[in-house]
Amino acid sequence: MKVSDIYKNGGKSLSFEIFPPKKDAELNNIDDTLDVLCELRPDFISVTFGAGGSCNCNKTIELARKIKDRYHVEPVVHLTCLHYNKKEIDEFAGVLKEAGIENILALRGDIRADIPEKDDFSYASDMVSYLKGKYDFCILGACYPETHPESENVVDEIKHLKKKVNSGTEVLLSQLFFDNNLFYDFKERCSIADIDVPIIPGIMPVVKATQIKRMVSMCHASFPERFQKIVDRYESNKEALFDAGMSYALSQIIDLLVSDTDGIHLYTMNNPQIARRICEGIRNIV
Ligand code: FAD
């Protein structure tokens, strides 16, 4: 199933992001996580992609295959392009096609000093055009309610996003954020620019103090005062931070749902209890 079909006739999605475990041995433990996540019947599960690996030893594809074949849930495979050439992207596409995987989150990937860039793709939109010209995948793309860290201004950022959508991106998944107003403002900018594909907000319940610091440096997400107060108060109390972080995320999600958002994409951090608590919290909310 193509993810874009979900939104036809006003449908909404609930989806999860997971990442492949770093060590091969842990790949088996992911089954316990998938057992819970898939029992919650998400519309799709997206699997992150680490740049620099080859197609044959790619854990992302292995995990996506498992999600599809064993759990019968639709996988979305993240694929970055900055460190690959067309031949390598063709190789990935071929493996995905063979596995019956129909959805790709097409990403540029981060600029990294340790992996040389290749010449074929400079931006995600380059890979979107390439894939759309050759294959029949449903293409999703990334977007940034607080703008991408490399962007100089919001106007250019929206122009580039419009180009990515015009190249064939059918659904946008957002970077995480803690202030819904930033997402609503971003959606308004998209609407002014006639970007009319579903824009799915990415929500990460923050339940660990170490995670908070990493999030700030990685994603440049700003903290509203209400959230900052929770962090300051419960940073050193694991259980309290878990409860408060979950409640905060739930209040964000409910506000998004009553504001006619097209869906919710949950950054699970491979913690099935997070997904379970969120699903319980919105069980009767549509
Ligand atoms: P692009 O859309 O190419 O944008 C990158 C920057 O270039 C932006 O500042 C944009 O405004 C600018 N730009 C775009 N087009 C042009 C143009 N034509 N001219 C000039 N400037 C332009 N990374 C991973 O490595 N693996 C993952 O699995 C992964 N999953 C992600 C999932 C989500 C939902 C999100 C939001 C991000 C994810 N990332 C992942 C991170 C992502 O790779 C980085 O944020 C990366 O720096 C940008 O990728 P992009 O696809 O958004 O790039």
The tens digit of pLDDT for each residue in 47-93 reads 999 877 767 568 999 999 999 999 999 999 999 999 999 999 999 99
138-161 per-position pLDDT tens digit: 999 999 999 999 999 999 999 999
What pLDDT, on a 0 to 100 scale, did the predictor assign at position 28? 72
pLDDT digits (tens, 9 = 90+) for 22-40: 877 777 789 999 999 999 9
Report the residue among 123, 125, 174 best suited for mutation to probe ligand 1: largest number of ligand atoms under 8 A from its CB.
123
Question: Which stretches within the chain are classed as H helix?
Answer: 30-39, 59-69, 86-98, 124-134, 154-166, 180-192, 209-219, 225-234, 238-258, 272-281
The tokens describing 254, both together, are 């409910």
Residue located nearest, by CA, to atom 20 of ligand 1: 160
List, for residues 202-235, the tens digit of each pLDDT value: 999 998 888 887 777 788 889 899 998 999 999 9
What's the chain's length in residues?
A: 286
Residue 184 CA to ligand 1 centre (angstroms): 20
Q: Look up the pTM and report it.
A: 0.97
Calpha distance 83→54 (Å, rounded) = 11
